[in-house]
Structure 1
Amino acid sequence: MGATFNGLVGLIILALDIWAIINVFKSSAETGMKIIWVLLILLLPVLGLVIWAIAGPRGNVRF
């Protein structure tokens, strides 16, 4: 059960990171800031996602 659970958590984090990166690209932030946000999300997948959720730029993505 442990490996399956860890794999599922990893896939969820990957999906959320991809979603966050798409939102960064769709945002109106400057190109330099977009690059910094994408690097933060890629280098620190969980922490970067949390920081982006709190302070990051949002795109015009509808739920």
Structure 2
Amino acid sequence: MEFNMFSGIIGLIIFALDVWAIAQIINSGADRNMKIIWVLVVAILPVIGLIAWYLAGPKSNLG
């Protein structure tokens, strides 16, 4: 029972981080095609895509 709840919480955290990353990608100054590619990478490969975006992806223009 605890493992299922723990994995559900981890899944929810990853989902929230992916949504945040996609919002950051959309608000970045990157080329439109690069934004589409990054959003697809983060959406299709949630954990690996999130790490790759954090290390190499476009950053938001907001801060």
Instruction: Give the shorter-chain TM-score range.
Output: over 0.9
Match of residue 35 from structure 1? 36
Q: TM-score of the superposition, structure 1-length normalised? A: 0.94
Q: TM-score of the superposition, structure 2-length normalised? A: 0.94
Q: How is 1:1-63 mapped onto 2 (pairs within 5 angstroms)?
A: 1-62=2-63
CA distance in 2, matches of 1:46, 1:40: 10
CA RMSD between the two structures: 0.8
Deviation string, structure 1 residues 20-58 (Cα, Å, up to 9, x no partner):
000000000000000000000000000000000000001
Mean alpha-carbon deviation: is it higher for 15-24 or for 52-61?
Answer: 52-61
- Return the letter of the residue paired with 1:6: S
CA distance in 2, matches of 1:51, 1:59: 15
Number of aligned residues: 62
CA distance in 1, matches of 2:62, 2:9: 25
Q: What stretches of structure 1 of length at least 5 have no aligned partner?
A: none
% identical aligned pairs: 50
Structure 1 residue ranges (4+ consecutive) displaced by more than 4 angstroms after TM superposition: none
